[in-house]
Structure formats: C-alpha cells, structure tokens
Structure 1
Amino acid sequence: MPHLTRRALLAHGAGLALASAWPGQAALAAAAQPADAFLDDLERRTFDFFWETTDARTGLAPDRWPTPSFASIAAVGFALTAYPIGVARGYITRAQARERTLTTLRFFAGLPQGPGRRGVAGYKGFFYHFLDMKEGLRYAECELSTVDTALLLMGALHAQSFFDGTHADEARIRALVDRLYGRVDWAWAQVRPPSISHGWTPEQGFIPSDWKGYNEAMMVYLLALGSPTRPVKAEAWDAWTSTYDRDSWGESYGQTLLRFPPLFGHQFTHCWVDFRGIRDAYMRAKGFDYFENSRRATYAQQAYAAANPLGWQGYSAEVWGVSASDGPADVTLAYRTTGGQIEQRRFISYAGRGMGLYDDGTLAPYAAGSSIAFTPEIVIPALQAIKARYPHTWGRYGFWDAFNPSFNYPDIKLTHGRIEPGQGWVDTDMLGIDQGPMLAMLGNHRGELVWQALRKNAHLVKGLKRAGFSGGWLG
C-alpha cells in the first residue's frame, strides 16, 4: 500500500468499525478509582510539555521536542487551550496564563500578512502551517493551511471564553481573538464554492482538494459559518456532509458509523465542541450524534487491535491506537507475523496511519488517550497497559509520540527514535499536535474544562446553529 500522508488520507473513505456497548456504572467506577493518580501524573506532564517548551517571548509552540524544529500553528492552538486547563488544575495562576495568552495573541496579531513567498506569516487572515521558531515567519515552502489555522483559532476561542473577567488584559485577550478571527477571509478559500480548500501556496496557488467529510475538518466549517465578519453561506455545511454517504458511512464489525481510519479525525474538533446531544440534519436522520460516532470509532480501534489481522506484535484489546504519528523509517523489510509467516512489510517514518488503510505496526498512545472522554472504560486501561508493558514509552512530558513493538531491526538507519532492545522501536520526540488533543480530552473527561468554556462562546454557537445543529445544550 502506498505511503499516505495525513492530508492524502482525507481523499479516502476507507475506515473501520467498532463493537461493544457501554459497561455498567459499577465497572466504570472500578476502573476509574485506581487510575486517578496515573491520570493526575499524565495530565500534569502533558501540560508541562506546552508550558515549558513554548517560547514565553512569542507564544510559538514547537512542532516537536526535543528535536529542534519549526513552530506549528496547530500546536499553538493546543497550547492556548492548555493554559486554562493549567489554571483549573492549579499548575499555574490565572495571571500567568493570562500573560502567556496575551503575549501569544499579540504576537500573532502583529505578524505580517501578504501574498509574498518570504517575510510573511500568512495571507487573507490564514496562517502558514509552520512558522520559523524565532521570527514567526513562513517556514520553507509550507502551505497556507485552512485546517491548521482553524486549530489555532479554536484555541483562541477557548481563551476568549475562559478569560471573561474585568481585568484589562482579559478584555484585551477577547478583543485580539475577535481581531484574529474576524480578518480570516473564508470566502477567498472557497475556490470551488461552497467547499473550502485545504490551502494555498504562492508558488502553486490553491491546493486541488477541498475539505469534505468525514474527518477532523468539521471545525473549519463551523468557524467559517460562525465568523463575526465574513461568514460563509449555510450551504457550505451541506457541501461538507454531501460526501458522507459516498465515502464515510458504512458498517464494520457489525456496527454502523461515519468512518475515518485514523483516530485523530474523530477527536480533533471534539476537543473544543461538546457534541453530546446536539445533531445536524444528517445525524438526526441517523439517530445519534457525533459524540456517539466517535465512541463507536474508538471501540473499532480496540476491536481491530484485538483481531490483529496483519499479525503485528503487541496488538491486543489492552494495547491499541493507530493514528497519524511518527514511525521508525521509510523502508521495506521481511517481517515475521505473530502467526509465523514471513512477509515483506513497508514501514514509514511519518504517516497518517489508520486501521484498514495503512498500518505498519506503529501505535500512538495519544490515539487512545485522546478518546478518554468518549470511552474512559477502555482508554484508561489501555494507557496503563502501555506504560506498564512498554515503560520506555514514558518520559518527562508523558508518553513519547509512538512505538512499534514489531520493528526489531537494529541495523536499519532510523528516521526517528531508537530501538529498545527486545521491545522494538520507540520515538524520542513528542509532537505538539498529538500532545494537545490528549490534554484537552483529559480536561473534558475530568471536569468538561474545555467544553464548558466553549459552550458559551457566541461565535461557536452561531456556527453550530447555522450548520443546522439543535438539541441538547444548544436548545
């Protein structure tokens, strides 16, 4: 199977399925009680990743750590969400979070925008996917990214809703968010209206692909619909859902859902939007909400690992989670499956991994962890099992990005990570875009910390209602 990047995945409708139902409340309580100390430690370490690796002078968050890297605007969005969680948990004071947030927003509001290839950070209100870590300008020839701009803005909206006090700096935060959000020209990105393009570069123009469901880009359309200055027409949401039946809706493992192979597609928008009990027209017709869809998708991952159709080492009902992540190297090698067959297998250094689409034996702890708000009864045991069976996956800031128990090739030159003798490959980096959803969903699982703030954000509420959502907390 060819190497598929995260973006290439979005052109496919392949996916997998799920099984199981909610356990009883007694089982939930029994599972959660001994896990409290573990979750406390994981949440604190993951928060510290953002607090300690983000540049306090600019608010720029590195794409990865400790390998020196450029900044990721998506990681900045997750960092902006991390700071209020830190306040709620008592890791930092409100004043500290306020100062860091204001610094970040001021820096981004002051970055130059324009159509040039160099010396700018964005264009038409959108930002380039990656920025130089020192000056905040476009890194290399990366794309102006609509979805990564959306991830940045979702973090900004979280800050806007959290910092709701009378302090002058909190008022400045709210105003800066409106300024950043309001200048995004969503209609400009509708090069094939009413759909929204993946992005643009000054060298090549618009990327010849649009965001269509189902994947993580729900937030792109919700933001475009909720814009305080340049909202797109409501028909944009219809364009987003128009491909659901063709590409995403289906059955697997005897269950039915909107499929998307990597778990991140079922998690990212949910970091900020509480979909419990609210439905658009499509989901009203199906009889359940997007939260339930993500719950089912998570059970699919567990069922897939338990079945282990490709015979990878370590996969089980306790150890699972295939999603976009680092991997060991770009190489094809002879591999002995758990059933004893010798087969040629392709390994990848970075891929938008997904069960049934591309799986090279690499597992990402954040893939399971970011579903904790959907299925704590299987996620908590999975994270504990990974830490217990593969202790080399645990570091200063929680879990390293990924590991692969099947990759035991000490003589192969690695792109990332290292070989743990007898245990396979493990990454030696942590990625902001992977740490972020796990921290956000830990906050939602343990107190609805992000959801609670965003439920009162007028821009998000507007976007949801214009997309046709109703019910639950939306009324």
Structure 2
Amino acid sequence: MEKIKFLALLFAWLPIALFAQKPNEAKVKEQIPIMGVKKGLSDADLMETVQKQTFRFFWHYGHPVSGMARERSNTVNANYYWDYINQAWDEPNLSKGTFGPEAIAVGGTGFGIMSTVVAVERKWISREAGLDRIIQIADFLTKADRFHGAFPHFMDGTTGKAIPFGRLDDGADLVETSYLMMGFLCAREYFNQNTTKELYLKKRVNDMWDTINWNWFTNNEKKLYWHWSPYQGFDMNFPIWGWNEALITYLMAASSNWHPISRDAYNGTWAGSTGFKNGKKYYGYELPLGNYDSDKGGPLFFEQYTFQGIDPRGLKDSLNVDYEVQTRNHTLINRAYCIENPKKHVGYSEKCWGLTAGDSYKGYIAHSPDNDFGVIQPTAAISSMPFTPKESMQAMRYFYEELGNKIWGEYGFHDGFHLGKNWSSNTYLAIDQGPIVVMIENYRTGLLWKLFMNTPEIKTGLKRLSFTTNSPLLKK
C-alpha cells in the first residue's frame, strides 16, 4: 500500500502533457486490422471486438527486438521524471535515466503473454506466430538482467538492462516477476505439443522458473520483500503485505520446485498483517479483505492482476476467506460508489464506473473511492467481467457505443477519461490492456484459469499455503 501511495504522489506531478509520442509499431507478418465503432453488436461480438483490438497493443506494438510489452503507448519525459525522483529522495547527483520508447514492462509482458495465448485460441493469429513471439521473449530474457533469478520492474527492450524505477528500486522486482512467470506458465501449459518449438519453449520457461530464488527474498525472515538492489541490498525495506495486488507473488513463491517459501512467510507478513482483513460493509456489501482505514477497498486492480491466473470461485484459505466474495464485492462497492457519486463528477452512473490505477489529466494516479479525481479507467469495469458480468457488460457497451470514438482507438479503449473536462488520455498501458483481454476470456471460457490452476507447481503451492478450491475447471 505504501508503494501505491508513493506512486500516486509521484505521478500526480507528472502531467500527461509531458509525455512524448509513441514510437513506430513493430513489424508483424500477421496483421490484425483496426476496427471502428459498430453499434448493435451482440454481447459475444462486442467482447470479441474489444479483446481483439486491445490485443493489438501487444501484437503490433510489441518491442521489435525483445518482443516484450512496451510499458505504455507514449514515453515519459525522462528529464522531468528523474528531476522529481531526485527531489523526492534528496539526491541531486543521481544520474538521469531513460524512461522512454525502449522501456518495456516485465509484469505487463506477462499479461501480454497470456493475451497471446487467447489470440492463438481465438485464431486472430496462428499458433506458430504466437509461439514464435513468446519464444522471442523467452530467448531475450535469457540474456537480460536478473537478480537472484528475479527480473526488474522495467528494462531496456533492446539491451535487457534494468531501468531504475527509483534510487533504491534498481534491481529485482519480485511482484513484477511473478506476473511475468504467471504468463509463462500459462504459455507452457498451452503450448504442450510434442514439437521441437513447443518443447524448446517448455525448456526455456522451466529454466527461468527454476532459477528464481523466491526464498532468498525473505532475507531470512518470515516475509517476502518486494525489491532488492545489487547496490543497496534490501535497503528499500518494502515487505509484501496484504491486501493488495500481490497475492500471486506469495503463491508463486510457494510453488517453486527448488526455492519455495514456507507457509510461515505467508501467514506472518501477508495474511498476518494489519492491512489484510477488513470485514466492514459498504453499500450493503461486506468486504472481507483490505486495509480497514482505506475506505471501500482501494483500486480495482487489487482484484484483477492476481486473478487473471487464479480462479477465485470456491477459493478459500486457512482463515476461511472466500475469494469469490472478495472479488465480487470489492467490484460492486467500487461501482456503488460511482453511482452514489459523492463528489458530483460529471458522467458517473450505473453504466459509467470503474476506479483503478491509470492515466488521468493529473498524470498516473491510483484512483479509488478515497482518491477520486473524476477519471474512469475502462479497464476497471471491463476486467471485472468474471466477477460482475452483467454490470461489466453494461459499462463496456456504454464505453463502446455511447462514448464511441472519443475513447476508442487503435488499441481499444483509451486508458482513462474525464467527461466533465471533455478529456481523454489517448494513451494505452500494458498493465491495463492485458487484463481486458485475459479477464474477458476467463468469463467466456475460463481459458487462463484452466491453464494456470492445472499447472502442477501451482497445485502444489496452493496446498503449501493451505488453500482449498472447488474450481469447476480443476482437473482431478
């Protein structure tokens, strides 16, 4: 939560006006055409259209060298960004970094890999083309910077060198690494034919997976640490504790073949933290988890990043937390807040809702009911499709049909918009694009849930952390 608050403060001073234009798209043989707005589509056709156009971000805009997902469709003014970092940490001599067109997102790439699996399954691209792209990414990462097996938050898509995200955040990012490997494990399970290329991908994924020393990131304590720097060690001192977007990190760490964490690490700092349980009711919906002092559950990405792979249906832990209730109720609370609209923002309604992290007229903000600037992120409502299908479909149809080309572009919906200011970001972010493709698919077919939940290592990790599940997709 502290990291989220810091990022919100940091990027609140980073106006979108200081972003440059996006670089050229990657060259691909199999083109996915851009589609304009067409009213009257069936629900199935609308979902297909939104998924397919959103996937273009990863397919056409993937980095030409690494194949990985660029962090965003525009580039941050590096000098301004680093000037602010210097002021924030009182480091006037800190070398300025390049946070520009070569910056790729490690976590966003994991979401992009999962989206590529969807694209192959839905035949937007061929199996061979999708496989080649994922192998391209895996091959690139064998030569990229790693720290005790873990990857950084951002890296240069040409060189594989880490791009610092802060003075102490210049090495491993364990949460972003968990998102990346969630994508790779899904791809390994999907591309499971006995062919040379698919066996090659399996070996590449296993090599990456088995060399991540998850347990090392406990620093010999009963907790996981988010960051480690090759120069500063664990000085950032940022333990991963709940409730937030990082449940997947503890599950991945417990699922390791060679370097798993103990259940005590999960129980001690994640589930045992003061910010884990909530139990209050908002708008008549009980919220099982979340910082008691953080009103109404926080941004919706808390429920979306982790549950792209984990099926929350029937999922419970040793504290008897019902994750199906958590994911649904947090979403309904977020929607109910927008309907109440206590700040009287223009446009908020039962069909125009969704507060989560993303671009706003103030910069990048972690939007939530207690951090509300009147900006709606389409990904918030749309990526909640498996939890609130009726409500999410209503919102998606409104975004597409009624707002239309004001917020619909070459890679799907713009990242954020403010109707009262007649403002749209005209930007796309990897970590917001991926969940749209993946979560719509999980609602439609459960594809990524089925792949991930049936991964042998993940089954082991769930047992190690005393989770139980009756997911209808789980193979016996």
TM-score of the superposition, structure 2-length normalised? 0.80
Q: Does 1:267 align with 2:295?
A: no
**C-alpha distance 248-146 of structure 1, shift in aligned 2 (>3 A):** farther
8 Å Cα contact 1:86/1:92 also seen in 2:
yes
8 Å Cα contact 2:354/2:376 also seen in 1:
yes
| Residue in structure 2 matching 1:176, options 204, 207, 213 | 204
Q: Counterparts of 1:360-379 in structure 2 under 5 Å?
A: 360-379=373-392
Cross-structure match for 2:282: 252
Cross-structure match for 2:67: 59
Query: 1 CA distance for matches of 2:210 and 2:53?
Result: 34
Cross-structure match for 2:160: 136
8 Å Cα contact 1:214/1:248 also seen in 2:
no
| Residue in structure 1 matching 2:414, options 391, 397, 400 | 400
8 Å Cα contact 2:104/2:156 also seen in 1:
yes
Query: 1 CA distance for matches of 2:133 and 2:436?
Result: 21
Query: 1 CA distance for matches of 2:391 and 2:275?
Result: 29
Q: Does 1:305 align with 2:338?
A: yes
**C-alpha distance 210-192 of structure 1, shift in aligned 2 (>3 A):** farther
Q: How big is the shift at 1:425? A: 1.4
8 Å Cα contact 1:322/1:355 also seen in 2:
yes
Q: Does 1:44 align with 2:47?
A: no
Cross-structure match for 2:85: none
Query: 2 CA distance for matches of 1:35 and 1:244?
Result: 42
The amino acid of 2:280's aligned partner reads G
The amino acid of 2:434's aligned partner reads G
Q: How big is the shift at 1:455? A: 2.3
The amino acid of 1:80's aligned partner reads I
Once the two structures are superposed, what CA deviation does each residue of 1:188-223 show, in whole Å capped at 9, x if it has no partner?
A: 211372111121234543222211111110111001
The amino acid of 2:454's aligned partner reads K
Query: 2 CA distance for matches of 1:110 and 1:51?
Result: 22
Which protein has the bigger strand share? 1
Q: How big is the shift at 1:177? A: 1.2
8 Å Cα contact 1:6/1:351 also seen in 2:
no
The amino acid of 1:163's aligned partner reads F
Query: 2 CA distance for matches of 1:50 and 1:73?
Result: 13
Query: 1 CA distance for matches of 2:229 and 2:359?
Result: 25
**C-alpha distance 437-8 of structure 1, shift in aligned 2 (>3 A):** same
8 Å Cα contact 1:4/1:352 also seen in 2:
no
Query: 2 CA distance for matches of 1:389 and 1:302?
Result: 19
SS in 1 for 2:163: coil
Cross-structure match for 1:21: none
Cross-structure match for 2:132: 99
Q: How big is the shift at 1:141? A: 4.9
| Residue in structure 2 matching 1:79, options 112, 120, 143 | 112
SS in 2 for 1:122: coil
Query: 2 CA distance for matches of 1:327 and 1:5?
Result: 19
Q: Does 1:218 align with 2:247?
A: yes
Cross-structure match for 2:86: none
| Residue in structure 2 matching 1:229, options 254, 258, 263 | 258
8 Å Cα contact 2:376/2:416 also seen in 1:
yes
Listed as ranges, the gaps of 5+ residues in structure 2 are 9-39, 76-99, 291-296
Cross-structure match for 1:354: 368
Query: 2 CA distance for matches of 1:56 and 1:167?
Result: 26
Q: Does 1:390 align with 2:427?
A: no
Query: 1 CA distance for matches of 2:61 and 2:450?
Result: 27
Listed as ranges, the gaps of 5+ residues in structure 1 are 11-31, 112-120, 330-348, 409-423
TM-score of the superposition, structure 1-length normalised? 0.80
8 Å Cα contact 1:66/1:429 also seen in 2:
yes
Query: 1 CA distance for matches of 2:133 and 2:202?
Result: 14
Once the two structures are superposed, what CA deviation does each residue of 1:291-335 show, in whole Å capped at 9, x if it has no partner?
A: 221111111111000100111111111100000001113xxxxxx
**C-alpha distance 394-5 of structure 1, shift in aligned 2 (>3 A):** farther
Instruction: Give the paired residue count.
Output: 403
The amino acid of 2:315's aligned partner reads I
Q: How big is the shift at 1:245? A: 6.9
Identity of aligned residues (%): 29
Q: Does 1:326 align with 2:359?
A: yes
Q: How big is the shift at 1:248? A: 3.5
Cross-structure match for 1:416: none
The amino acid of 1:299's aligned partner reads L
Cross-structure match for 1:187: 215
Query: 2 CA distance for matches of 1:7 and 1:152?
Result: 23
8 Å Cα contact 2:143/2:160 also seen in 1:
no
Q: Does 1:277 align with 2:277?
A: no
Once the two structures are superposed, what CA deviation does each residue of 1:386-432 show, in whole Å capped at 9, x if it has no partner?
A: 233323111011101001123x3xxxxxxxxxxxxxxx211021000
What RMSD in Å do the two structures reach over aligned CA positions? Answer: 2.2
The amino acid of 1:6's aligned partner reads I
